[in-house]
Amino acid sequence: MKIVVIGAGSIGSVLGVRLAATGNEVALLARGAHLAAIRARGLTLIDQVGSFSGVHRLTSSDEPRELAAGGTADLIFITLKAHQIAAMLSRITPLVGRDTVVVPAINGLPWWYFYRFGGAHDGRTVRSLDPDGAMFAALDPRRIIGCVLHFAAEVRAPGEVQHTSGVRIIVGEPDRSDSARLRAVGAALERAQFKAEQASDIRLAVWTKLLGNLSFNPIAALTGYLMNQICADEALLDQIRAMMREGMRVAEHFGTRVPMTPDQRIDMARQLGGAKISMLQDLEQGRPLELAAVIGAVIELAEQADIDVPTIRTVHALAQARARALRLA
């Protein structure tokens, strides 16, 4: 397959290396010092999880049109931060052919969440993510396969990425169908030695991860703690449990019952060990935080459902203030 990874930071780089090493033609969209290092020296992966450590030479650019010079892509992974996607969707048009499949592998509630949702909420827009529907206009949602990632990685230095934990990737069609293209994506990920799961309901996977993101991510940004440090602090875990319970009520109102307790979800997080959570990485690197997709969208849905989410609101306000104080918002 010809695969393009849009946003070759930590997660995108791991995806790109593994998919290229298992027989696919892979190109990376990156930028800045990271791109310059990849072009000059190759992409170095420190793989603590599998057998892909080494220097990998991959086609890379900061311009999608350059990556389309050899033709359109069969498969595009979007691994950007949620707030970066809207501006990028119109730029990837040269890469999109008749049968191109697009897999947004992103944190938070995805902008396409209500596409082919069914029922009274079908097709609605999440204002905090796509207020005027521009993202749907820029990319035909029929191309989308949903994706939820459960692995951690970190850019150690420009051109150097460390894969610290996890290999689980869940993919699913927005309309809950079993399709040939879904099976093809799952097979490509399996060959790349990910633990790929094809979900009959990708929104359950979205909420299962989102419960962790909306709680652990801002707590990490506020405290500077790694995942194992948060999990060892009972006072913080009490706040995380409260946020998860509030999030579960919102999810259930919109038709998704998460079949686990907050403590079971916390146990999932413990499996990441001493990982540095993405929002803390962003804060330390001086990048904007993914607050709208990870927390703001949940608050928006809670307001629409008239559900009180006081702990989520409090932590959100604190994280927003932290971002403003560091000039990241």
Q: Which of 199, 220, 246 finishes a domain?
A: 199
Q: Are residues 209 and 183 in the same domain?
A: no
Q: Which residues are CB-neighbours of 120 under 8 A, at least 6 positions away?
A: none
Q: Are residues 307 and 185 in the same domain?
A: no
pLDDT of residue 284: 95
Read off the pTM: 0.94
Q: How confident is the model at residue 70 (pLDDT cuts 50, 70, 90)?
A: confident
Q: Are residues 55 and 194 in the same domain?
A: yes
Q: Report the alpha-carbon distance of residue 194 to residue 234 in Å, rounded.
A: 33
Q: Are residues 87 and 176 in the same domain?
A: yes
Domain that holds residue 30: 2-199
Environment class of 148 (CB within 10 Å of its CB; exposed 0-12, middle 13-18, buried 19+): buried
Per-chain mean pLDDT for the chain: 96
The string of pLDDT tens digits covering residues 235-269 is 999 999 999 999 999 999 999 999 999 999 999 99
Q: Are residues 181 and 264 in the same domain?
A: no
Q: Are residues 23 and 148 in the same domain?
A: yes
Evaluate if residue 232 carries a pLDDT over 90.
Answer: yes
Q: Report the alpha-carbon distance of residue 15 to residue 5 in Å, rounded.
A: 8
Q: Where are the alpha helices (DSSP H) in 23-141?
A: 32-41, 64-67, 82-89, 134-138
- CA-based torsion, 146, 66, 163, 270: positive or negative: negative
Per-residue burial over 29-48, b if 16 or more Cβ lie within 10 Å, else e, is: bbeeebbebbbeeebbbebe
Number of domains, the chain: 2
Q: Where are the alpha helices (DSSP H) in 150-276?
A: 180-191, 202-223, 227-231, 234-253, 262-270
Rg of the Cα trace of the chain?
Answer: 19
Cα distance between the two ends of the chain: 38
- Residue of 2, 81, 195, 209 marked active site: 209
Tokens of 248: 């579960």
Phi, psi (deg, nearest 5) at residue 79: -120, 30
Q: Are residues 190 and 65 in the same domain?
A: yes
Q: Are residues 219 and 249 in the same domain?
A: yes
Q: Which of 199, 227, 257 finishes a domain?
A: 199
pLDDT of residue 12: 97
Q: How confident is the model at residue 317 (pLDDT cuts 50, 70, 90)?
A: very high
Q: Are residues 67 and 182 in the same domain?
A: yes
Q: Which of 147, 182, 199 finishes a domain?
A: 199
- CA-based torsion, 67, 165, 109, 303: positive or negative: negative
Residue 2 catalytic? no
Q: Are residues 170 and 255 in the same domain?
A: no
Give the CATH number, domain containing residue 226. Answer: 1.10.1040.10
Q: Are residues 81 and 220 in the same domain?
A: no
Q: Are residues 36 and 175 in the same domain?
A: yes
